[in-house]
Structure 1
Amino acid sequence: MSKIGLISDTHDNIENIEKSMRVFMEREASTVIHAGDFVSPSVIRAFQEVKLIGVYGNNDVDRAGIKDAFNLIGGTITGEIYELEVDASEIVVYHGTQQEASNSMIHSGKYDIMVCGHTHQIQNSRVGKTLVINPGTANGWFFGFGATLAILDTQSRSAEFIRL
């Protein structure tokens, strides 16, 4: 697979979602992982050009509507935690609402990569064998953080962060 787009905390900012999609297309990231806080089901349609994988965040109240929107674009959303294997890497996706749950996954030794969101802050750290990546917030206006996303290279297990 090689390149996966990482995005989180879009909070209905359709303009930045569209900017993000342009970056993902330019970087040839045909799969995008969204770590939660879409907020409204209507924004999910903007991801229809990619294979979208997502988890629910704490602001995703209309879960039925979000799931229906995922189904319409052929995306995958199964709940608050999603596990996948890509290029011999075990990846877990969790919004990060509960710090204890995040820590448990990070320290479990089960995952090579954890993708999370929630804090709106970029994170790119290694804890034991686990690379922890938070692409920041694609919304950009909460708490004064700029809008960001990341591109995960699954071969090198490294992330590039991009400001929108």
Structure 2
Amino acid sequence: MNTKIGIISDPHATPGPVEEALSIFRQEGVEHVLCAGDIAGYGEALDETVDLLMANACACVTGNHEAWYLDRAADKEDSSTYRYLSGLPASLEMVVKGRGLYMVHASPPDSFMDGIRLLDECGEPIDEQRAYWTGRLQGFAYDVLVVGHTHQVFAERLGDTLVINPGSTLCNHSCAVVSFPKLQVEWFALSGQTLLKSWNWGMNQFSQG
């Protein structure tokens, strides 16, 4: 019996695509929903986005935009949004059907800036980046690594680990469903848009995402 996990990332304070992804996940029969961070930033509907994630029991990790929001929003410490974002972990671990999964916004163990960027501006793999990150992940003790941050869409096996970036629900118009234990990944486009494999290529690996 398969167990399905729905994965989103980088919703950037825009609830519409998140709501659509959650609807897809319900149709696909997912048992858990993961969000790889950057709930805040860019958009204007952070409270609504947080409420949506909370109402659907999404397991989230923090991203760089959460850190920046919390630094600027000291006057909102009593709000439910502030409390939610300030309580997010840097990483999350779980076991699904005997497969170890680790989620972090950018790269393990707990970076939210050092993003895994495997694709060029056309969405094609960069061999040098694959080799670099394969080396970086040598000895990584998990079957699946879920990341966000770079606004790229990929599921690539690097060494012994399947690295999945579902892309940004806002920028890449994408979400993913992963079936365990076979680790089959299915992609879904959002907002009536074509799924963009790579977005905002002008940012370098260590810039804001």
Instruction: Give the TM-score normalised by the residue count of structure 1.
Output: 0.81
Aligned residues: 153
> Displacement, 1:50?
3.3
Partner of 2:167 in structure 1? 136
> Displacement, 1:126?
0.3
1:37-56 residue pairs with structure 2 within 5 A?
37-39=38-40, 40-48=46-54, 50-56=56-62
The superposition leaves residues 55-113 of structure 1 with CA deviations (integer Å, 9 ceiling, x where unpaired) of 1011113457557347xxxxxx642111111111111101112248xx58732330100
Partner of 2:173 in structure 1? 147
Which protein has the larger Cα radius of gyration, Structure 1 or Structure 2? 2
Partner of 1:11 in structure 2? 12
Describe the shift of the 1:59–1:85 C-alpha distance in structure 2 as closer, same or farther (beyond 3 A).
Answer: same
- Give the whole-Å Cα distance in 2 for the aligned partners of 1:139 and 1:125: 22
1:127 aligns with 2:158: yes
- Give the whole-Å Cα distance in 2 for the aligned partners of 1:78 and 1:108: 26
Contact 1:42–1:69 (Cα < 8 Å) also in 2: no
1:46 alignment partner AA: L
Instruction: Report runs of 4+ in structure 1 exceeding 4 Å deviation.
Output: 62-67
Instruction: Give the TM-score normalised by the residue count of structure 2.
Output: 0.65
1:98 aligns with 2:114: yes
Structure 2: segments with no counterpart, 5+ residues: 41-45, 71-76, 107-112, 117-132, 191-209
Specify the SS of the correspondent of 1:9: coil
> Displacement, 1:119?
0.7
1:124 alignment partner AA: A
Specify the SS of the correspondent of 1:3: strand
> Displacement, 1:12?
0.9
Which stretch of structure 1 is more off in the superposition, 80-89 or 112-121? Answer: 80-89
CA RMSD of superposed structures (Å): 2.6
Partner of 1:74 in structure 2? none
1:31 aligns with 2:57: no
Partner of 1:157 in structure 2? 183
Contact 1:107–1:128 (Cα < 8 Å) also in 2: yes
1:88 aligns with 2:98: yes
Structure 1: segments with no counterpart, 5+ residues: 71-76, 141-145
Partner of 1:68 in structure 2? 83
**Structure number having the greater strand percentage:** 1
1:21 alignment partner AA: L
- Give the whole-Å Cα distance in 2 for the aligned partners of 1:105 and 1:2: 29
> Displacement, 1:28?
1.1
